[in-house]
Chains A and B, each alone.
Chain A
């Protein structure tokens, strides 16, 4: 009887007992089939959108994506205001979500008394359950007045030198949308980061402390470093949510299809543009909206690639090394 070769993650041959190569192959084959099905599904999705978007590109070329005039009634479909609006709101959301989310995750994983961890974690994850239209209405009804009367004037006085906070205090706008998005992506950032931080091997943590590292040094140099790819995963999911959020943003951003001159301006994002116009759009307008969806897909790809590159550059192998794909 031939001994079957099992290539585990260490690539070792385990000789001696006969085992079914077939069942291992079937297992791997089954998983691969699932993954290929997944890719096929996504491929179908992309192809469907490309087909719908093609008329816009064949009629208008490619430059319309970067033009700044959005006026469908006169066949102007400049996407630049929407692209910038999407990037700006997502940036605000992630600038807030990464430190606060990571800090919260660290607290939940290491600092909070063990008994309090499940209820507090559950509480933060509950934020994910609130439907997006509720976030939008909460932002519009409860937060916009506060932003207009307190938050925006405060930020203008403190950070006005950056010239990011010029103009009137409108309440609605990029800043409010970014803050709402922050709240919406926080549970994703916190929950996944917390899980990843919590499974860092305890020997590593104890080893570091035994060497005399302070708690923060341990967290920084061992825990965070070890969990880096997992945190990247959390960041990716969170950014994905922020880029694609539709209804909540449409309610608070003011939907003004012009280039924003400050963080307090009203602006528009690609998903908001799509949800507002899709029902009535026909012909080239409709194709242009699908084209906008494609642009968002590309933006997502770029953001993802940049994030991976940053992580890969600081990657180091460790005992419990997690390969960066």
Chain B
């Protein structure tokens, strides 16, 4: 019952709605600063169509990880498309999904795609759910080791031992073996981890489960039963602050955070055996190794390739395939299409220390978004 054909009448209708809506804008923002980002290059044809979304207000909620990126991208978008207000709040992936299930928000964002049990809670009348990656990010292993200036190297089994409590001191043999020539102190290691449910935890433990399956037994999940020696702090910023104020500590911190705050982070051994420092380039190299991903096959940790940084993951935007309101549907679809493409929102990723989606994923997103239909069954995006 999904009408996938895009008739000329449908295209004209959508454009008509967009143009008439644009003329009746009532923006009440008091900001005067100019928007950032600019359109450039090849995708400008459909990107300019994306900017013609109808006026109104969108509510969206979910991942805290993408919040800075979304805020920036949506700000830029609404600067070019006044009349549309987009309110995205980083309430947490789980709450975002709950809000999406209950219909309180127009679209959601989550670091881990909705699982089968999550999808089961969406009312059957709402129809299928579309999930697309919206940005790429890495997870750094940051540490606070007084007196050691050289960058440390770790591999998955060593990290597994540190975070499950079996490796207790900095001068343990496994750490020494990876870092010859570095004089490591004998102090105890304080692992710093997340107290709250977190996609970052998921990506990190997914890496440990994939790359060190015989050593890491605590599983890959958003919440882990950490050992009693681990200090748990809520939110990425909490973990970061805790690392900074606790000497001899080590923890996993989102890369954008680590870069923005000049953390000391380690080089991690990837599947090819090289020790790679996390950066937008090395994260992108890792993602490029897996050009086809889906909500059921989305892990990109420990990909092959010498330049790949192994601890990385996508964040996902979630929307209904059958939109019940033509206005809101057009707004959501065009906003997300613009946000997830180069020339649109993805141009803002680098300045915020995120990593832009690989072109293959961008194209995949476009295909997915073209399946989203309005109440009349016609696709909402102009092809």
Q: Do A and B contact each other directly (Cβ–Cβ < 8 Å)?
A: yes
Q: Report how far A82 CA is from B226 CA in the complex, Å.
A: 16
Q: Which of A25-33, A189-197, A248-256 contacts B (4 or more CB under 8 A)?
A: A248-256
Nearest first, the 4 closest Cβ-Cβ pairs linking A and B are A280-B94, A280-B197, A255-B232, A255-B195
The reply to whether B225 and A73 contact each other, CB–CB distance below 8 Å, is: yes
- Cβ contact of A251, chosen from B92, B223, B233, cutoff 8 A: B233
Tell me, yes or no, whether B234 is within 8 Å of chain A by CB.
Answer: yes
Tell me, yes or no, whether A276 is within 8 Å of chain B by CB.
Answer: yes
Q: A-side binding surface: helix, strand, loop or mixed?
A: helix
The reply to whether A73 and B233 contact each other, CB–CB distance below 8 Å, is: no
B-facing residues in A250-275 (Cβ within 8 Å): 250-251, 254-256, 258, 266, 272, 275
Q: Report how far A141 CA is from B92 CA in the complex, Å.
A: 24
The reply to whether A170 and B231 contact each other, CB–CB distance below 8 Å, is: yes
Q: Which of B240-248, B267-275, B297-305, B348-356 contacts A (4 or more CB under 8 A)?
A: B240-248
Instruction: Name the residue on A nearest B231 (C-beta).
Output: A254
Q: Report how far A140 CA is from B231 CA in the complex, Å.
A: 12
Q: Report how far A259 CA is from B144 CA in the complex, Å.
A: 27
**Interface size of B by Cβ–Cβ distance < 8 Å?**
30
Q: Which residues of B contact A266 (CB under 8 A)?
A: 228, 231-232
Tell me, yes or no, whether A24 is within 8 Å of chain B by CB.
Answer: no
Q: Which residues of A contact B92 (CB under 8 A)?
A: 279-280
The reply to whether A71 and B225 contact each other, CB–CB distance below 8 Å, is: yes
| A220 to B: closest C-beta gap in Å | 43
Q: Report how far A272 CA is from B195 CA in the complex, Å.
A: 9
- Cβ contact of A279, chosen from B197, B225, B232, B244, cutoff 8 A: B197
Tell me, yes or no, whether B238 is within 8 Å of chain A by CB.
Answer: yes
The reply to whether B234 and A140 contact each other, CB–CB distance below 8 Å, is: no
Tell me, yes or no, whether A72 is within 8 Å of chain B by CB.
Answer: yes
Q: Which residues of A contact B161 (CB under 8 A)?
A: none
The reply to whether A250 and B234 contact each other, CB–CB distance below 8 Å, is: yes
Q: Which residues of A contact B241 (CB under 8 A)?
A: 137, 140-141, 251
Q: Which residues of B contact A251 (CB under 8 A)?
A: 233-234, 238, 241
Tell me, yes or no, whether B85 is within 8 Å of chain A by CB.
Answer: no
Q: A141-B245, A279-B94, A280-B196 given. 11 additional CB < 8 A pairs? A: A71-B225, A72-B223, A140-B242, A251-B238, A254-B233, A256-B230, A266-B232, A276-B195, A279-B92, A279-B196, A282-B94
Q: Report how far A314 CA is from B101 CA in the complex, Å.
A: 57
Tell me, yes or no, whether A43 is within 8 Å of chain B by CB.
Answer: no
A-facing residues in B64-109 (Cβ within 8 Å): 91-95
- Convert A119-160 into 0s and 1s, putting 1 for each residue whose CB lies closer than 8 angstroms to a CB of B: 000000000000000000100110011001000000000000
Q: Which residues of B contact A141 (CB under 8 A)?
A: 241, 244-245
The reply to whether B231 and A172 contact each other, CB–CB distance below 8 Å, is: yes
- Cβ contact of A172, chosen from B197, B222, B224, B242, cutoff 8 A: B242
- Cβ contact of B228, chosen from A172, A250, A258, A276, cutoff 8 A: A258
Q: Report how far A153 CA is from B234 CA in the complex, Å.
A: 27
Q: Report how far A250 CA is from B234 CA in the complex, Å.
A: 7
Q: Which residues of A contact B117 (CB under 8 A)?
A: 282
Instruction: Name the residue on A nearest B226 (C-beta).
Output: A256
Q: A144-B246, A170-B190 are in contact. Are A280 and B223 (CB under 8 A)?
A: yes
| A134 to B: closest C-beta gap in Å | 13
Tell me, yes or no, whether A168 is within 8 Å of chain B by CB.
Answer: yes
Tell me, yes or no, whether B184 is within 8 Å of chain A by CB.
Answer: no
The reply to whether B196 and A276 contact each other, CB–CB distance below 8 Å, is: yes
| A97 to B: closest C-beta gap in Å | 25
- Convert B169-210 into 0s and 1s, putting 1 for each residue whose CB lies closer than 8 angstroms to a CB of A: 000000000000000000010100001110000000000000
Q: A255-B234, A275-B234 are in contact. Are A280 and B222 (CB under 8 A)?
A: yes
Tell me, yes or no, whether A171 is within 8 Å of chain B by CB.
Answer: yes
Q: Which residues of B contact A37 (CB under 8 A)?
A: none
| A86 to B: closest C-beta gap in Å | 16
- Convert B212-233 into 0s and 1s, putting 1 for each residue whose CB lies closer than 8 angstroms to a CB of A: 0000000101111110101111
Q: Report how far A266 CA is from B226 CA in the complex, Å.
A: 13
Q: Which residues of A contact B238 (CB under 8 A)?
A: 140, 250-251
Q: Report how far A62 CA is from B230 CA in the complex, Å.
A: 29
Q: Report how far A148 CA is from B92 CA in the complex, Å.
A: 32
Tell me, yes or no, whether A163 is within 8 Å of chain B by CB.
Answer: no
- Cβ contact of A73, chosen from B91, B190, B219, B244, cutoff 8 A: B219
Q: A170-B231, A250-B195 are in contact. Are A145 and B245 (CB under 8 A)?
A: yes
28 contacts between A and B (CB under 8 A): A71-B225, A137-B241, A140-B241, A140-B242, A140-B245, A141-B244, A141-B245, A170-B231, A172-B233, A250-B233, A250-B234, A250-B238, A254-B232, A255-B231, A255-B233, A255-B234, A256-B228, A256-B230, A256-B232, A276-B197, A277-B223, A279-B91, A279-B93, A279-B95, A280-B92, A280-B93, A281-B197, A282-B117
Q: Which residues of A contact B91 (CB under 8 A)?
A: 279
Q: Report how far A171 CA is from B248 CA in the complex, Å.
A: 13
Q: Report how far A168 CA is from B249 CA in the complex, Å.
A: 14
Q: Which residues of B contact A140 (CB under 8 A)?
A: 233, 238, 241-242, 245
Q: Report how far A281 CA is from B222 CA in the complex, Å.
A: 11
| B223 to A: closest C-beta gap in Å | 6
Instruction: Name the residue on B nearest A250 (C-beta).
Output: B234
Q: Report how far A279 CA is from B238 CA in the complex, Å.
A: 17
Q: A140-B233, A255-B234, A280-B93 are in contact. Are A171 and B245 (CB under 8 A)?
A: yes
Q: Which residues of B contact A137 (CB under 8 A)?
A: 241
Instruction: Name the residue on A nearest B91 (C-beta).
Output: A279
Q: Which residues of A contact B188 (CB under 8 A)?
A: 168
Instruction: Name the residue on B nearest A266 (C-beta).
Output: B231
B-facing residues in A20-59 (Cβ within 8 Å): none
